């Protein structure tokens, strides 16, 4: 470890303050130039009554030349110190080091310039503070705690090593010097020598299965963390578990890695597979072991075969003629011959997909076009392989171009089968060039004539009926679509699409109201309310009384609708306009958007500005307004006791509207 000692004297550092003009200053004072603000003698009208002898001072090297308070820069504070007193310089990630000065009250004038840096040999090194690339700078933006910054390029240029120390001595004009120590570190990780294996390639023989072994030389590693395997043929990827391999120590520097035979047999690898085992260690880079799956079993030679061996070349639908090669013990096609002439690879024929046990041989359409074949010609191709016997492909020239035919049509092409009103589904056939129905198919099944369907001929047309008994046997459900394919003796087939429907009206749960009966009290008139339980309904279409419809928001309103229930209120103003007398009953028919209507019966009770009338026959005594017999005090209670029977009421002179 080397120690470098540095004497540091702070030299004056001048900064130029950039001042931006151009703001709108109208009415905010008078503009002054930098020269006027930094030189009291420049304009005596600026610093009127400023005490530059005792309170203020102005110096070119302090506060950028602008006035400052003397107490901010009083000299005489004892024992200045720095913080931190030590710092680290990293050779791998170098940057400047910066201690701060404390208990230091003077401006930069009180610290002299850097004179020299002395190393272990006592040789002086001159530091440069000024210029475009200084070796250190003093930053006085905080005049109380200025920053002393030793720059990266200066420290890097000292040719330092790990654990070196650089000791800077900072001298003050009127105080004892202080020291600042920089410790040199190097965070570069040490080099690692990765483990190796030998051999790096091996075979696994399906005919003689054994463990696969290799020797590890540890170097800086000491253990195997993980082994993965990639099949380079089908690109499948596996991770070995601890039961698939073992690592046995040979000596302090080597170990034996064994991949067990059971792993290979368990994964059902086949001949030709190439396995890449990646061995990851606790230190350093992984290494790779390549294992090839072989089979040394001796088998009799089997020649390649093709399928099909016979095919057609259709002049109506021209194209390549394709056959599949099964290689067996062969591996490639040497040549393809037509008669005595060899075909040109990639011009007259191609062989593709030959990496596995099969390949595709295609005689190209361009070859046939050049032969100008005729219907009935026989084209014989001989396919020669690298090993074994040749194969023969025989082609017959045909022409499937059909005569021009006007196909039969059906009308309608779509119909419904109604579960609520089941019956036969009928469509009309227009024969055109066809003469008969050869089959009717549904899905993968063929319908039976006269059991599942009938055809009745007319003059140039016929009626095709899919019988109800067929549909019944299918157990169709609503929304199901049944597609029937009708095939004729000539021309294209026709399609009849039958959709299963159900015209049965849906079951609806009507809305209810509670209570269904209420009173309107002439002595204490008020709104009449009942609670609607919507069930399948969702809104009121109308409310009628004596054939007249009430007006929503004028005669009634529906509030507090939460989707399940709502409050129906018939306004007292409606009753007030009806010229009512006691014992009148008003029936309100409430019609909903879905389901049955509900009836609200409102009985008029009490007297309205009339003397007390004698009890009516058939009603209990009513002094004032008695409680109705059986009526519970709590109107929210479910149900309502029956009222006593009333005799027929005499015809009223005035009927409610």
Domain CATH for 251: 2.60.40.10
- Positive or negative, the Cα torsion across 645, 651, 653, 657? positive
- How high is the pLDDT of residue 636? 46
Considering the domain architecture, whether residues 609 and 525 belong to the same structural domain is answered as yes
- How high is the pLDDT of residue 151? 81
Considering the domain architecture, whether residues 375 and 428 belong to the same structural domain is answered as no
DSSP secondary structure code for residue 200 in this structure? S
For the cut 70, the answer to whether the pLDDT of residue 479 exceeds it is: yes
Over residues 580-592, the pLDDT tens digits come to: 999 899 999 999 9
Considering the domain architecture, whether residues 328 and 439 belong to the same structural domain is answered as no
Which is higher by pLDDT, 633 or 176? 176
Considering the domain architecture, whether residues 33 and 171 belong to the same structural domain is answered as yes
- How high is the pLDDT of residue 104? 52
Spatial separation of the C-alpha atoms in residues 56 and 63, rounded to whole Å = 12
Over residues 557-578, the pLDDT tens digits come to: 999 888 899 999 999 999 999 9
Q: Where are the alpha helices (DSSP H) in 59-190?
A: 152-156
- How high is the pLDDT of residue 31? 73
User: Of 274, 294, 314, which residue sits at a domain end?
Assistant: 294
Lowest-confidence pick of 108-117, 302-311, 383-392, 420-429:
108-117
The proportion of the chain whose per-residue pLDDT surpasses 70, expressed as a percent, equals 77
Considering the domain architecture, whether residues 40 and 102 belong to the same structural domain is answered as yes
Q: Are 376 and 364 within 8 A, CB to CB?
A: no
pLDDT band at 361 (very low <50, low <70, confident <90, very high): very high
Backbone torsion region of residue 173, taken as left when φ is above 0, otherwise alpha when ψ lies between -120 and 50, otherwise beta: alpha
Which is higher by pLDDT, 299 or 361? 361
User: Of 294, 327, 359, which residue sits at a domain end?
Assistant: 294
For the cut 90, the answer to whether the pLDDT of residue 182 exceeds it is: no
Q: Are 437 and 494 within 8 A, CB to CB?
A: no
Over residues 259-282, the pLDDT tens digits come to: 999 999 998 899 999 999 999 999
Mean pLDDT of the chain: 81
- How high is the pLDDT of residue 423? 92
Lowest-confidence pick of 121-135, 422-436, 483-497:
121-135
Which is higher by pLDDT, 80 or 542? 542
pLDDT band at 72 (very low <50, low <70, confident <90, very high): low
Considering the domain architecture, whether residues 329 and 439 belong to the same structural domain is answered as no
Considering the domain architecture, whether residues 263 and 309 belong to the same structural domain is answered as no
Which is higher by pLDDT, 608 or 23? 608
Spatial separation of the C-alpha atoms in residues 313 and 323, rounded to whole Å = 13
Considering the domain architecture, whether residues 81 and 184 belong to the same structural domain is answered as yes
Lowest-confidence pick of 85-94, 106-115, 542-551:
106-115
Give domain status of residue 404, yes or no: no
Q: Are 75 and 82 within 8 A, CB to CB?
A: no
- Sorted by sequence, the CB contacts under 8 Å of residue 353 that are 6+ apart come out as 359, 360
For the cut 70, the answer to whether the pLDDT of residue 463 exceeds it is: yes
Q: Are 317 and 226 within 8 A, CB to CB?
A: no
Give domain status of residue 23, yes or no: no
Three-state secondary structure string covering 341-363: EECCECCCEEEECCCCCEEEEEE
Q: Strand pairing partners for 428?
A: 411, 463
Q: Are 129 and 58 within 8 A, CB to CB?
A: no
For the cut 60, the answer to whether the pLDDT of residue 490 exceeds it is: yes
- Positive or negative, the Cα torsion across 294, 299, 304, 308? negative
User: Of 159, 188, 217, which residue sits at a domain end?
Assistant: 188
- How high is the pLDDT of residue 285? 95
Q: Which two tokens stand for residue 269?
A: 């690898």
Over residues 504-535, the pLDDT tens digits come to: 888 899 999 999 999 999 999 999 999 999 99
Give the total number of structural domains in the chain: 5
For the cut 50, the answer to whether the pLDDT of residue 630 exceeds it is: no
pLDDT band at 114 (very low <50, low <70, confident <90, very high): very low
Lowest-confidence pick of 24-38, 101-115, 118-132, 222-236:
101-115
Give domain status of residue 471, yes or no: yes
- How high is the pLDDT of residue 325? 95
Region 593-615: mean pLDDT is 78
Residues in the chain: 657
Considering the domain architecture, whether residues 63 and 210 belong to the same structural domain is answered as no
Q: Which two tokens stand for residue 588?
A: 């309100």
For the cut 90, the answer to whether the pLDDT of residue 554 exceeds it is: yes
Give domain status of residue 438, yes or no: yes
Considering the domain architecture, whether residues 13 and 155 belong to the same structural domain is answered as yes
Considering the domain architecture, whether residues 495 and 530 belong to the same structural domain is answered as no
Region 283-300: mean pLDDT is 90
- How high is the pLDDT of residue 657? 31
Give domain status of residue 300, yes or no: no
For the cut 50, the answer to whether the pLDDT of residue 392 exceeds it is: yes
| Closest residue by Cα to residue 391 from 363, 353, 356, 370 | 363
Beta carbons within 10 angstroms of residue 205's beta carbon: 15
- How high is the pLDDT of residue 21? 33
Region 36-51: mean pLDDT is 74
* Alpha-carbon distance values, 294 to 159, 209, 594 (Å): 60, 10, 79
Give domain status of residue 349, yes or no: yes
Find the domain containing 98 and state its range: 1-17+29-188
For the cut 70, the answer to whether the pLDDT of residue 20 exceeds it is: no
Q: Are 176 and 203 within 8 A, CB to CB?
A: no
Region 112-124: mean pLDDT is 40
| Closest residue by Cα to residue 484 from 475, 473, 495 | 495
- How high is the pLDDT of residue 108? 36
Spatial separation of the C-alpha atoms in residues 546 and 548, rounded to whole Å = 6
Considering the domain architecture, whether residues 382 and 436 belong to the same structural domain is answered as no
Region 134-142: mean pLDDT is 68
For the cut 60, the answer to whether the pLDDT of residue 2 exceeds it is: no
Give domain status of residue 403, yes or no: no
For the cut 90, the answer to whether the pLDDT of residue 412 exceeds it is: yes
Give domain status of residue 299, yes or no: no
């Amino acid at each position: 470890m080397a120690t470098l000692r540095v004497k540091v004297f702070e030299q004056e550092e001048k900064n130029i303050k950039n001042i931006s003009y151009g703001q709108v200053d109208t009415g905010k004072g008078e503009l002054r130039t930098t020269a006027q603000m930094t030189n009291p003698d420049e304009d005596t009208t600026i610093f009127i009554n400023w005490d530059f002898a005792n309170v203020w001072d102005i110096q070119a090297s302090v506060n950028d030349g602008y006035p400052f308070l003397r107490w901010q820069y009083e000299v005489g504070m004892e024992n200045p110190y720095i913080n931190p007193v030590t710092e680290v310089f990293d050779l791998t990630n170098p940057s400047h080091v910066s201690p701060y000065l404390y208990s230091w009250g003077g401006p930069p004038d009180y610290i002299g310039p850097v004179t020299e840096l002395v190393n272990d040999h006592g040789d002086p090194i001159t530091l440069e503070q000024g210029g475009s690339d200084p070796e250190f700078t003093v930053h006085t933006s905080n005049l109380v705690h200025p920053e002393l910054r030793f720059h990266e390029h200066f420290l890097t240029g000292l040719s330092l090593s790990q654990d070196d120390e650089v000791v800077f001595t900072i001298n003050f004009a009127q105080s004892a010097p202080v020291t600042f120590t920089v410790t040199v570190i190097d965070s570069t990780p040490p080099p690692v020598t990765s483990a190796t294996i030998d051999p790096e390639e091996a075979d696994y023989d399906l005919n003689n299965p054994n463990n696969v072994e290799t020797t590890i030389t540890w170097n800086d590693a000491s253990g195997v963390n993980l082994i993965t395997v990639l099949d380079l043929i089908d690109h499948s990827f596996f991770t070995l578990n601890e039961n698939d391999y073992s690592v046995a120590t040979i000596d302090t520097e080597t170990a034996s890695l064994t991949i067990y035979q059971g792993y290979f047999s368990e994964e059902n690898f086949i001949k030709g597979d190439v396995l890449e085992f990646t061995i990851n260690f606790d230190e350093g880079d992984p290494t790779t072991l390549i294992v090839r799956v072989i089979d040394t079993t001796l088998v009799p030679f089997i020649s390649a075969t093709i399928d099909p061996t016979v095919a057609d070349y259709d002049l109506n639908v021209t194209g390549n003629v394709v056959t599949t090669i099964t290689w067996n013990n062969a591996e490639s096609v040497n040549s393809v011959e037509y008669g005595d002439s060899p075909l040109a690879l990639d011009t007259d024929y191609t062989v593709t997909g030959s990496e596995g046990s099969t390949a595709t041989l295609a005689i190209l359409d361009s070859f046939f076009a050049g032969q100008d074949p005729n219907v009935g010609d026989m084209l014989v191709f001989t396919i020669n392989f690298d090993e074994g016997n040749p194969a023969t492909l025989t082609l017959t020239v045909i022409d499937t171009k059909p005569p021009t035919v006007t196909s039969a049509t059906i009308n309608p092409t779509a119909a419904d089968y109604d579960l609520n009103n089941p019956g036969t589904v009928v469509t009309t056939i227009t024969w055109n060039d066809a003469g008969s129905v050869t089959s009717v198919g549904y899905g993968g099944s063929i319908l039976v004539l006269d059991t599942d369907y009938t055809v009745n001929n007319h003059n140039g047309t016929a009626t095709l009926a899919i019988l109800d008994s067929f549909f019944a046997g299918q157990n169709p459900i609503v929304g199901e679509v049944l597609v029937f394919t009708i095939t004729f003796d000539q021309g294209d087939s026709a399609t009849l699409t039958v959709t299963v429907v159900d015209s049965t009206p849906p079951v609806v749960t009507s809305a209810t109201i509670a209570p269904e009966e209420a009173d309107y009290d002439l002595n204490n008139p008020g709104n009449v309310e009942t609670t609607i339980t919507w069930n399948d309904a969702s809104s009121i279409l109308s409310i009628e009384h004596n054939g007249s419809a009430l007006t929503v928001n004028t005669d009634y309103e529906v509030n507090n609708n939460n989707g399940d229930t709502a409050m129906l209120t018939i306004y007292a103003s409606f009753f007030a306009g009806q010229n009512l007398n006691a014992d009148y009953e008003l029936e309100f028919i409430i019609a909903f958007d879905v389901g049955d209507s509900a009836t609200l019966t409102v009985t008029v009770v009490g007297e309205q500005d009339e003397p007390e009338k004698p009890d009516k026959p058939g009603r209990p005594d009513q002094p004032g307004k008695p409680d109705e017999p059986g009526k519970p005090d709590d109107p929210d209670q479910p149900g309502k006791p029956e009222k006593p029977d009333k005799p027929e009421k005499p015809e009223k002179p005035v009927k409610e509207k």
